[in-house]
A and B are shown apart, each in its own frame.
Chain A
Amino acid sequence: MEPVVEIAGVSKLFSGTPVLQDCDLRLEPGRVHGLVGPGGSGKTLILKTLSTLLRPDSGSVILFGTTVDYGDRDGLRALRDRIGVQFQNLALFDFLNVFDNVAFPLVMTPDPPPTDEIDQRVHEALVEVGLPETAHLRLPELSGGMQRRVALARAAISGADLMVFDDPTGGLDPVFSSRIFVLIGELQERTGSTVVLASHDVDRMTRICGRFHVMDQGRRIYSGNIEDGRESEDRRIRTFLTVEA
């Protein structure tokens, strides 16, 4: 089966410091992929790379069978139409209210759906994340956890082929963390999308992630299921895959 994402030999330097080193990653379609590793291991950077937001210094990125050409604006637009991202620090637009934030990916498409449909889909997305009464609120009126749920709704609303969640439960209480993971799992089942999520909450990730990828020092050091990883001879892989939240 052709992978949705195929990253090969990707390297990136920031101010002379290597942050991604000859990194590769392959994501098969239609499943939830978990990305784990210590802080600073390059999880966010690899997620930004596969979202076309980070241009590597070397290596290739192939999305949906198309090699990413960063100079081809139309090609990038076509790829980005198929990607939904929840950023680690949420990246909600503070000049818009909750409704407009969630509706943004729908409104900004070249062929936006009718207003009634946008209203309905935003309402449904907010109900799913447990925030049905917040549409009219400004972001400063929401708690950090509520803002994280709004970001989740925005990432998921377009039903993209590839959904990227960077630490979707950071700062959330355990009860709602579980609910978020369930929501992501249900979302994937309903849409059939490929989902990749980075988190430190390995315990809860095991409930929805069919495949894990372990990052360390800018490299992918493991891809496979959780059981094999936990029995790996590499102590780092065993450590990262057995860490509890």
Chain B
Amino acid sequence: MTLATGFMALPRNLLRLLGETVVALVLRPPPWRTVVTQMYNVGFRSVVFIAVTLGFLGLITVYQGCIQALKVLPDLSMVGAAFINVMIMEFGPTITALMVATRVGSGIAAELGTMVVTDQVEALEVSNTDPVEYVVAPRFLAVVVMMFVLTIFAILVATLAGMVMADLRFQVNPHTFLTLAYVEWGDVYIGLTKVFLYGVSIPIIAAESGFRASGGSEGVGQSTTRAVVNTLFAVIILDFVVAGAAFIIRMQFE
């Protein structure tokens, strides 16, 4: 398969896998124990990673935001409002998705890739077990659900970290910092839309990459790398598309 053919086939393969996964979830839902185990793997095991990343992001963003704001006018009363708005609409969902894509997406691709090259997927098939239903569907559901949980957690951690920075370094009162003055329902919908689309795309792209693994450990490594690169691309592109769509929709109403 040439590079161009492979590139053209990718969207079709992704849509087919998404369709098969959704059909499997609707017609033959996975056992709740399996889903809970996957939610634990996706969510709980990502908590420290996301807390550290988003915590530092909150500290740095507020620090830089305050420094830049002070160059224009000596008033930091709305720094918290602007920060929380950006976190809900942009950084919370997107940075969390990048973290999940890196940690969970690579894990799904490596796990599935290993199953492919060691014939475990064929062993499932010969036991009349659909690999999409048995392996992909529970992970898909877990990632979609846990993306919402992790994003809320990430926004809280980043906001608290930013609040501490604003208070200790710039003497911004926490009550002043913690305001939703700039947050509109439209911003929340944009954030939720992103979270949902990231949650859908990450496990599907990772699983598709895993299913395409071939050869031995080298093939698994390549499929894992491909999964991480493709999921990161997808997150950035989806971010742009949703932001652009939101901008156009808002223009219609204003």
Contact B125 A108 (CB under 8 A): no
B126 is contacted by which of A52, A88, A94, A109 (Cβ under 8 Å)? A52
Instruction: Please report which residues of chain A, range 104-134, place their CB below 8 angstroms from some CB of chain B when the two chains form the complex.
Output: 104-105, 108-110
Is residue B123 contacting chain A, with contact meaning CB distance below 8 A? yes
- Digitize B115-134: 1 where CB-to-A-CB distance is under 8 Å, 0 elsewhere: 00011101101111100000
Contact A89 B118 (CB under 8 A): yes
Q: Report the separation of the CA atoms of residues A94 and B129 in the bound assembly, to the nearest whole angstrom.
A: 16
Q: Report the separation of the CA atoms of residues A109 and B118 in the bound assembly, to the nearest whole angstrom.
A: 23
Contact A104 B127 (CB under 8 A): yes
Is residue A137 contacting chain B, with contact meaning CB distance below 8 A? no
Complex interface: chain A residues within 8 A of B129 (CB)? 108
Is residue A87 contacting chain B, with contact meaning CB distance below 8 A? yes
Is residue A80 contacting chain B, with contact meaning CB distance below 8 A? yes
Contact A105 B127 (CB under 8 A): yes
How far in angstroms is the closest Cβ of chain B from A214? 24
A53 is contacted by which of B114, B120, B122 (Cβ under 8 Å)? B122
Chain A: how many interface residues by the 8 Å CB criterion? Answer: 22
- Digitize A73-98: 1 where CB-to-B-CB distance is under 8 Å, 0 elsewhere: 00001001101010111111110000
Contact A91 B125 (CB under 8 A): no
With known contacts A91-B118, A91-B119, A91-B120, A85–B128 Cβ distance under 8 A: no
List the B residue with the shortest CB-CB distance to A73.
B130
Is residue A138 contacting chain B, with contact meaning CB distance below 8 A? no
List the B residue with the shortest CB-CB distance to A54.
B122
Complex interface: chain B residues within 8 A of A51 (CB)? 126
Instruction: Please report which residues of chain B, range 79-135, place their CB below 8 angstroms from some CB of chain A when the two chains form the complex.
Output: 114, 118-120, 122-123, 125-129
How far in angstroms is the closest Cβ of chain B from A170? 14
Is residue A236 contacting chain B, with contact meaning CB distance below 8 A? no
Q: Which label, helix, strand, loop or mixed, suits the secondary structure of the B interface? A: helix
Q: Which one of B119, B120, B126, B128 has the highest number of Cβ atoms from chain A below 10 Å of its Cβ?
A: B126
Q: Report the separation of the CA atoms of residues A53 and B123 in the bound assembly, to the nearest whole angstrom.
A: 9
How far in angstroms is the closest Cβ of chain A from B26? 17
Complex interface: chain A residues within 8 A of B125 (CB)? 53, 80
How far in angstroms is the closest Cβ of chain B from A151? 9
Contact A87 B122 (CB under 8 A): yes
Q: Report the separation of the CA atoms of residues A185 and B128 in the bound assembly, to the nearest whole angstrom.
A: 26
- Digitize A138-165: 1 where CB-to-B-CB distance is under 8 Å, 0 elsewhere: 0000000000000000000000000000
Contact B126 A53 (CB under 8 A): yes
How far in angstroms is the closest Cβ of chain B from A56? 16
How far in angstroms is the closest Cβ of chain B from A85? 5
With known contacts A87-B123, A93-B123, A80–B118 Cβ distance under 8 A: no
Contact A80 B128 (CB under 8 A): yes
How far in angstroms is the closest Cβ of chain B from A132? 23
Complex interface: chain B residues within 8 A of A109 (CB)? 128
How far in angstroms is the closest Cβ of chain A from B20? 11
Q: Report the separation of the CA atoms of residues A51 and B122 in the bound assembly, to the nearest whole angstrom.
A: 10
How far in angstroms is the closest Cβ of chain A from B202? 20
Contact A108 B128 (CB under 8 A): yes
B123 is contacted by which of A52, A77, A91, A110 (Cβ under 8 Å)? A91
A-B contact pairs, 5 of them (CB 8 A): A53-B122, A85-B123, A85-B126, A93-B123, A108-B127
